[in-house]
Chain A
Amino acid sequence: MDYNFYLSTMWSVLKALPLTLEIWFFGIAFGLVIATGLTWLRASGSKFGEYFTRAYVFVFRGSPLLVQLYLVYFGLSQFDFVRHSPILWPILRDPMYCTIVAMALNTAAYESEIFRGALRAVPVGQIEAAKAFGMSAFTRFRIVALPIALRLALPAYSTEIILMTKATALASVVTIMEMMGTAQKIQHDTFRPIEVLTCAGVIYLLLNLSIARLFAWVEYLLSPHLRPPPEQSQQIKPVPEVL
């Protein structure tokens, strides 16, 4: 085995990790903002809100992210108003921004469904207790519904974040030299696909492993009430080791 080739490939792909993380971070950050808006719209109870969010989820969950990325990158620039817009054009002519936009729009569809489900799963009795104690709608949401819903949403949300990590590899098709783009270039130059793709795969695996551990740790911190009570847990089983 050619260890030196593995090492140098590893190193080259790792150098693209910051770019991958950048796409990943901004994609999920803007995605979260859009998802929050969609969830609010859906929960507002208006007919428009319901139809709009359902159509949104139908479109962005129903078609491949790759198609959405191509449409954002190649498709939108076909419109004159986009090319002449001082705001849209600087964003949409840049493949990096296009990837972030496509990822954010896509993940928002899934996340809004996750959040909607989580909010509906908050036990009615706990909301009623908050009402009965005179909490305003906003306080009820902040003190009771949101904390409970966040805990319920976390497992599904972490899965979505991991899917998004893998989705950053699509940026390579619109010329971005993130980890996948870099790996493909090395592969082209060396004709050694197995070694190169193995290196890239291992890095993605380790990245997702850390993200999964991070979420598991947050989940652990947030849910002491779902574990056995303190003194029993010592007798029955030790506190699960995390991280």
Chain B
Amino acid sequence: MSANVAAAAKAAPSPDDKSAISVKDMRKCFGDHEVLKGISLEAHKGDVISILGSSGSGKSTMLRCINLLETPDSGEVRVDGELIKMKQSRDGHQAPADMRQVERIRANLAMVFQSFNLWSHMTVLENLVAAPTHVLKRPRAECLEQAEALLKRVGIWERRNYYPPHMSGGQQQRAAIARALAMNPKVMLFDEPTSALDPELVGEVLRVMRSLAEEGRTMLVVTHEMSFARDVSSKVMFLHKGEVDSLGEPKEMFARPPTQQFGQFIANFNK
């Protein structure tokens, strides 16, 4: 009987088994400034969604509302079918109802930041081991082994004992991606991972991201790399002034821009 209950409980909250992230009507204001005006998004397992939009259109805010680095004012976020529970706080805004749940979900949503945000007082290897040992409580030896394998994969194993300030931007970002992978995340969130890099270092990071896409990882990628959006991602989402302006197949979108805004946006990049 208990098995049935467990199975039912597991099946119940998930409206769609394939759904990795589902966002419904998400809104967010900073003061008077409405930054997200009702965003919805479905990411299935294995989807690589490129999120495009000009600066200030709300891309980072959207990503940060998904893992609750920012608290959305309203709307629903489901990760792997599980609804992030929110409560109404006294000042009328929403707040996470259960920080434990938020932390558990965050552990499944590894994030890669524009400015890397590696922990500067730890070596690369320690950066990779910190979260798996302290959050997932996995044995240290096992984490170390995995960390070394991941560093080999992103090509910076030789730098495993370096501190982040001693590495180039491209190496730091690859270390940050390896740190995210070390959590075995269900979904990876990238916020402009190549925007802080010198042009000649962009390629090495994009290569790693491409290989992740090819092995079927679910990724939400805020980026200005049009080639990545067009050739690697399975969907493109274009945000304009806090709204989803258009969403679709990358080849379609780039060949026949569905809206004037998006047409202008990519025209600016092709100049």
Could you list which residues of chain A lie within 8 angstroms of chain B, going by C-beta atoms?
123, 125-126, 128-137, 139, 143-144, 147-148, 151, 222-226, 228-230
Stretch at the interface among B24-32, B161-169, B218-226: B161-169
A175 to chain B, nearest CB (A): 46
A229 near B103 (CB under 8 angstroms)? Answer: no
Of the listed residues A133, A136, A151, A226, the one surrounded by the most CB atoms of chain B closer than 10 A to its CB is A133
Tell me which of A126, A134, A224, A229 has the highest count of chain B C-beta atoms within 10 A of its own C-beta: A134
Residue contact A125 to B121, C-beta cutoff 8 Å:
no
Q: Which of B67, B104, B120 contacts A225 (CB 8 A)?
A: B120
Is A134 a contact of B120 with CB atoms below 8 Å? no
Report which of B106, B115, B120, B121 forms a contact with A133, defined as CB distance below 8 A.
Answer: B106
- B55-95 vs A: 1/0 string, CB under 8 Å? 00000000000010100000000000000000000000000
Closest to A232 in B: B166
Task: Give the CA-CA distance A136 to B106 in the complex, in Å.
Answer: 10
The 9 closest A-B pairs by CB, nearest first: A134-B107, A225-B163, A229-B166, A134-B106, A125-B117, A129-B117, A133-B131, A132-B111, A134-B103
| Given A125-B115, A151-B121, A225-B120; A133-B163 close (CB under 8 Å) | no
Which B-chain residue is minimally distant from A124 (CB atoms)? B117
Question: B209 within 8 Å of A by Cβ?
Answer: no
Question: B228 on the interface (CB 8 Å rule)?
Answer: no
Nearest A residue to B162 via CB reads A229
> What are some 29 contacts across the A-B interface (CB < 8 A)?
A123-B117, A125-B113, A125-B115, A126-B117, A126-B119, A129-B111, A129-B118, A131-B69, A131-B106, A132-B67, A132-B106, A132-B110, A132-B113, A133-B130, A133-B131, A134-B106, A135-B131, A136-B99, A136-B103, A139-B134, A143-B134, A144-B119, A148-B121, A223-B121, A225-B120, A225-B121, A225-B165, A225-B166, A230-B162
Contact A147–B103 (Cβ < 8 Å): no
Residues of B within 8 A of A224 (CB): 163
A-B pairs with beta carbons under 8 A, tally = 81
- Which one of B67, B103, B111, B113 lies within 8 Å of A135 (CB-CB)? B103
Q: Does B135 contact A (CB under 8 A)?
A: yes
Partner of B117, one of A128, A229, A230: A128
Residue numbers in A under 8 Å from B99 (CB-CB): 136-137
With contacts A129-B111, A129-B113, A229-B162 known, is A135 near B121, CB below 8 A? no
Q: Is B143 an interface position by the 8 A CB rule? A: no
Known: A225-B166, A229-B162. A126 touches B106 (CB 8 A): no
B177 within 8 A of A: no
Residues in A with CB closer than 8 Å to B178 are: none
A134 lies within 8 A of B113 (CB): no
CB distance from A109 to the nearest CB of B (A): 28
B229 cross-chain contacts in A, Cβ below 8 A: none
Given A151-B121, A225-B120, the answer on whether A133 and B165 have CB atoms closer than 8 Å is no
- C-alpha spacing A224/B107, complex, angstroms: 29
Bound-state Cα–Cα, A144 to B110, Å: 17
- Measured between C-beta atoms, what is the minimum distance from A151 to chain B in Å? 7
| Residue from B99, B110, B121, B135 whose CB has the most chain A CB atoms within 10 Å | B121
B104 touches A134 (CB 8 A): yes
B147 within 8 A of A: no
In the complex, whether B125 has a CB less than 8 A from a CB of chain A is no
A225 and B164 contacting across the interface, CB-CB below 8 Å: yes
The verdict on B253 contacting chain A, using a C-beta distance below 8 Å, is no
A223 to B165 Cα, complex, angstroms: 11
Cβ–Cβ < 8 Å partners of B130 in chain A: 133, 143
Q: Is B236 an interface residue (CB 8 A)?
A: no
Give the distance to chain B from A184, nearest Cβ to Cβ, in Å: 46
Is residue B51 contacting chain A, with contact meaning CB distance below 8 A? no
The CA-CA distance from A130 to B111 in the complex, in Å, is 10
B109 at the A/B interface (Cβ < 8 Å)? yes
B135 and A134 within 8 A (CB): yes
Cβ of B183 under 8 Å from chain A = yes
